Amino acid sequence: MLLMTMAPTGDKRKREDDTENGDSGDAKSSAGTQHPLSGFRLQTVLRESARDKTIFLHGQVTGDGQDAEDAVVILERAPFHVDTISPLLANSPELKLQLKNDIYSVYQLTPPPELNEVKTTIIRPATDKHIKKYLRQEIYLVQETGEDYKNITLPFIESQSFSIQWVYNILEKKAEADRIVYENPDPEHGFILIPDFKWNQKQVEDLYLIAICNPRGIKSLRDLTADHLPLLKNILHEGQEAILKRYSIPGNQLRIYLHYQPSYYHLHVHFTALGHDAPGITVERAHLLCDVIQNLEMDSRYYAGRTLTYALRADEALLKQFKEAGKC
């Protein structure tokens, strides 16, 4: 069964800028009746992982008699969850023997369609940046000083037209409003807590929510000062409380952190299940929110001045900037 995870949007969107972040424009434009993958022609397999049970595809789709459009399609087999184990075993009439040897036997079970879900994420139209993002690449560490941020990274971020329309759609309730788990409406110290795209919400083992802050213009960790402590503390405490209420997961079983570099430049905090190795929890990217709060309490300018180390893909334009400046 195909499951659309991105809000369906109209095809004919007038766009000025190109986007990195899968801007879906007006989230409420009409969906059209066509299957979003009708006539998908596979061009390349960008990446695949047998371990993660995922495959990232690049291809073309033809929308309603329009020109071919690039699309990135991400397929992922869903995890098991306890509640569906009994129906899975009871309702799978087909159990094909593959081999039997002593006390060991291997079968192939064919689940009923409703228990055989493949999570399908579609980015369409996809830009070159989207396509490149999922290509497997060598990665390199960069050590960004406060000066490097001012001279290299900030000008680079500002020169890019990263669209974060989808973030504003969430904040303005133009998209995903029915998915909001918690909201503190304070314009300066408030935020929206919502399940991340990556989580299908069917089992708490791989719980993944994001807190998107209400104030605009806080790009990342680098911009944070002691002035943001009330906002950060609200996100930490109210976020934990909301997750305890909704999912019965206590705060000491949550990994709550920010990314540097983030994948979009509007301050957000990740909440993931501690037992789940979500992508992006590596030491070179994740900064625990509780540590961030402590550091800012000790020194309001901590993140403006600190050298931050992170990894960049070989083809990333920011890496080229660092190379040209002789910094790596």
Q: Known catalytic residues?
A: 268
Q: Is 43 helix (H, G, I), strand (E, B) or coil?
A: strand
| C-alpha to C-alpha distance for 133 and 316, rounded to whole angstroms | 9
The answer for residues whose C-beta is within 8 angstroms of residue 187's C-beta and 6 or more apart is: 214, 215
Among all chains, which residue has been given the structure tokens 């990740």?
270
Tell the smallest beta-carbon distance from residue 175 to ligand DD3 (Å): 7
| C-alpha to C-alpha distance for 185 and 139, rounded to whole angstroms | 39
Tell the smallest beta-carbon distance from residue 194 to ligand DD3 (Å): 5
41, two tokens: 């022609």
Nearer to ligand DD3 by C-beta: 121 or 261?
A: 121
Residue 292 in the binding site for ligand DD3 (CB under 6 A): no
Tell the smallest beta-carbon distance from residue 71 to ligand DD3 (Å): 12
Residue 22 in the binding site for ligand DD3 (CB under 6 A): yes
Nearer to ligand DD3 by C-beta: 121 or 322?
A: 121
Among positive and negative, which fits the CA dihedral 58, 21, 167, 299?
A: positive
Strand positions, DSSP E, the chain: 2-4, 41-49, 54-62, 68-77, 95-101, 104-109, 118-123, 139-144, 182-184, 191-195, 208-213, 254-259, 268-273, 286-288, 308-313
| C-alpha to C-alpha distance for 163 and 25, rounded to whole angstroms | 10
Nearer to ligand DD3 by C-beta: 70 or 176?
A: 176
Nearer to ligand DD3 by C-beta: 67 or 178?
A: 178
| C-alpha to C-alpha distance for 313 and 307, rounded to whole angstroms | 19
- Choices 58-66, 189-197, 214-222, 280-288 (CB under 6 A): range interacting with ligand DD3: 189-197
The answer for residues whose C-beta is within 8 angstroms of residue 99's C-beta and 6 or more apart is: 105, 106
- Choices 95-103, 111-119, 191-199, 314-322 (CB under 6 A): range interacting with ligand DD3: 191-199
Residue 190 in the binding site for ligand DD3 (CB under 6 A): no
DSSP β-bridge partners for residue 41? 60
| C-alpha to C-alpha distance for 213 and 239, rounded to whole angstroms | 12
Give the residue, chosen from 182, 197, 302, 310, that forms a contact with ligand DD3 under the rule CB under 6 A: 197
DSSP β-bridge partners for residue 105? 100
Tell the smallest beta-carbon distance from residue 133 to ligand DD3 (Å): 7
- Choices 92-100, 192-200, 254-262, 311-319 (CB under 6 A): range interacting with ligand DD3: 192-200
DSSP β-bridge partners for residue 122? 73
222, two tokens: 């680098």
- Choices 55-63, 141-149, 195-203, 286-294 (CB under 6 A): range interacting with ligand DD3: 195-203
Tell the smallest beta-carbon distance from residue 180 to ligand DD3 (Å): 10
Residues 260-289 touching ligand DD3, rule: CB under 6 A, are 263-264
Residue 220 in the binding site for ligand DD3 (CB under 6 A): no
Print the binding letters for residues 145-184 with ligand DD3: x by CB under 6 A, - otherwise.
---------------------x---------x--------
Q: How many chain residues are in contact with ligand DD3, going by CB under 6 A?
A: 12
Residues 52-111 touching ligand DD3, rule: CB under 6 A, are none
> Using CB under 6 A as the criterion, which residues of the chain lie in contact with ligand DD3 when the complex forms?
21-22, 121, 123, 166, 176, 194-197, 263-264
